[in-house]
Structure 1
Amino acid sequence: MIVSKYFSQQEHILDTQNIANLYLELENNLSLKLHGLTYGLDLYIYRPLEYASSLHKEFVNKYLFSLKNVLFLGMNPGPWGMCQTGIPFGEVNVVKNYLRVSGTVEYPKNIHPQKPVLGLDCKRKEVSGQRFWDLINHLTDGDPFRFFKYCFVHNYYPLALVDKSQKATNITPADLKSEQRKILESVCDESLKSIIELLHVSTVVAIGNYVEKRSREVVKHYNLTNVKVVKIPHPSPRAVGTAENWKTITIEQLKSNNILDLFK
């Protein structure tokens, strides 16, 4: 297990820089493996962990300062959020004004002209990211360190896939054909297991149905008997049945699983 290089399950003293570096190493390895896969479609592949590495590393180094009880898990980067900033659900205004993370973003080559990468200069709103972080902002009275003391946020699949049609449709892992999806999931599942072990996560808050399914499969397959999976709805305004009441439903789920107490 990669964690054993620096500390065991029984140790309580942690070198925070080592854990941040190990986390970044796991992410980078995952990104490289996924980029080398064949997806069976004609796609643009966005790799925000690479072209937005400056912002992403500052985010990790700033907030991954301790082991985390809870891992909030998203599926993949959104075109106007993490694709711009390298931060999960990273809506630009939230990154600037709540997370207070800054850095440069390189302009990647070979991307869809309908979905450019402008970094912190992007003017488009990422509604899902805005809703997610606005809730965290509300629950922490504007202090992100109250969230990150015990929690962290991570994406199961850190690349973004956009088809080459004029519509520039986002292709999620769930949209892929079975053969390609299973290969992708075997890579992402193993990485998620390593992230859970590295951070000593006891609860995965799965954001949406797809990552709930993958989280439960990881817990079962790798026999992570001390890890609980909790689902909250995805904050997308297009989510069927939960869009209008997303905040209420999410707060109730966090409260019933004793997660809100961690923000106090």
Structure 2
Amino acid sequence: MAAETLIKAARKLSKAVDRLQFSEPVTHVYNPLAYARRSHEAYLSMIGDDVSVVFLGMNPGPWGMAQTGVPFGEIAAVRDWMQIDEPIGRPDNEHEKRPVEGLQCARSEVSGRRLWGLFQEKFETPEAFFAKHFVLNYCPLVFMEASARNRTPDKLPAAEKTPLDSVCDEHLRTVLKAIKPEHAVGVGAYAEACLRRVVKDIDEPPQVSRILHPSPASPAANRDWAGTATKQLCEAGLW
């Protein structure tokens, strides 16, 4: 039942964000919920019946979910570990420096490699991980400037960020109510803030905590990120 609710909610979110408008310096917007829908829904279908921990990221990376439709979707983790192999289309307004090549993409997203690498090491099989855990993204869109530079949602002007937050909050609220996790973990400070805002409107809210974001742009993440994240999850009483 949770998978059906998540798929329905993702389709609604995809249509809602497609109606939004974004201006320069953003010149290209990718929506993997649309062009990688089959892959994304295959991922959502992997959720277990008794998930107690949800991890939340900010938005897709150009070499991760933008390619695979899976949150933090590093190619090898999606193809080889999760065994997801669905046709992936291309965005309408594709930047020549950020082509969507799907599972044939030769680039590897470091954040996704670190996150899913930790889960593979601890749980070994996807069935063991997904029985109690799930990973989501707050915003489904990828934003790029003319140079192909990535632009994160927190850098959008208020006039664009407010309506985006509204539909993403509604989606996250729907998903958390469907899954009913005991814990919700923000992967980074931005995702944690989104969780804390949304759980205020949930009758039986999950306990919110945070782990260090695995981005290589963070000096702290480049010093044993897996060890740091594991320690944070242990301290929060999750592992």
TM-score by shorter chain over 0.5: yes
Q: CA deviation at 1:143?
A: 0.9
Q: CA deviation at 1:243?
A: 2.8
Q: How far apart, CA to CA, are the structure 2 residues paired with 1:50 and 1:185?
A: 19
Q: Secondary structure at the match of 2:54?
A: strand
Are 2:234 and 1:250 equivalent residues in the alignment?
no
Letter in 1 for 2:169: D
Letter in 2 for 1:214: C
1:188 aligned partner: 168
**Where in structure 1 are there 5+ consecutive unaligned residues?**
1-17
Contact 1:173 1:181 (8 Å CA) reproduced: yes
Letter in 1 for 2:55: F
Once the two structures are superposed, residues 134-188 of structure 1 have per-residue CA deviations (whole angstroms, 9 ceiling, x without a partner) of: 1001111x2111111011111100111112x2x2011211010122212211221
Q: CA deviation at 1:211?
A: 0.8
Q: Secondary structure at the match of 2:215?
A: coil
Q: CA deviation at 1:225?
A: 4.6
Are 2:69 and 1:89 equivalent residues in the alignment?
no
TM-score in terms of structure 2 length: 0.94
1:145 aligned partner: 127
Matches within 5 A, 1:28-107: 28-41=11-24, 42-61=26-45, 63-107=46-90
Are 2:99 and 1:119 equivalent residues in the alignment?
no
Q: CA deviation at 1:218?
A: 0.9
1:174 aligned partner: 154
Q: How far apart, CA to CA, are the structure 1 residues paired with 2:92 and 2:10?
A: 21
Between stretches 93-102 and 39-48, larger displacement belongs to 39-48
Q: How far apart, CA to CA, are the structure 2 residues paired with 1:179 and 1:107?
A: 28
Q: CA deviation at 1:208?
A: 0.6
1:228 aligned partner: 207
Are 2:8 and 1:25 equivalent residues in the alignment?
yes
Q: Secondary structure at the match of 2:221?
A: coil
Are 2:191 and 1:208 equivalent residues in the alignment?
no
Between stretches 250-259 and 70-79, larger displacement belongs to 250-259
TM-score in terms of structure 1 length: 0.86
Q: Secondary structure at the match of 1:43?
A: strand
Q: Percent identity?
A: 35
**Given the superposition, is the C-alpha separation of residues 72 and 183 from structure 1 closer, same or farther in structure 2, using an over 3 Å criterion?**
same
Letter in 2 for 1:104: P
Q: CA deviation at 1:109?
A: 2.5
1:6 aligned partner: none
Which aligned runs of 4 or more in structure 1 are off by greater than 3 angstroms?
A: 223-226
